[in-house]
Amino acid sequence: MTKVTMKLDDLTCPSCMTKIEGALSHKDGVKDVKVLFNASKIKAEFDDSQTSADDLANTVTDLGYTVKSSKVKAL
């Protein structure tokens, strides 16, 4: 398992949080995802044999958000 924390540039409303959590939670291998609205961060735990931090970041980008930075930590 791997954890990633992504800092977003443009998280503007609580509905954005729901949109991102929904999209990421449906990705294969994602075990847990939380969007921290006030901190403009995403924290996700995933199986790195099924997806990657880059794939998750690309999903967020495809939704129209900008990922400013990302930190990955293997568990």
Gap between the Cα atoms of 31 and 23, Å rounded: 13
Q: pLDDT digits over 7-42, tens only? A: 998 788 888 899 999 999 999 999 999 999 989 999
For all residues of the chain together, what is the average pLDDT? 94
The domains of the chain, with CATH numbers, are 2-74 (3.30.70.100)
Q: What pLDDT is attached to residue 13? A: 85
Q: What pLDDT is attached to residue 10? A: 78
Q: pLDDT band at residue 63, thresholds of 50, 70 and 90?
A: very high
Q: What pLDDT is attached to residue 75? A: 76
CB within 8 Å of 57: residues ≥ 6 apart = 4, 6, 67, 70
Helix ranges (H only) for the chain are 14-25, 53-62
Q: What pLDDT is attached to residue 64? A: 93
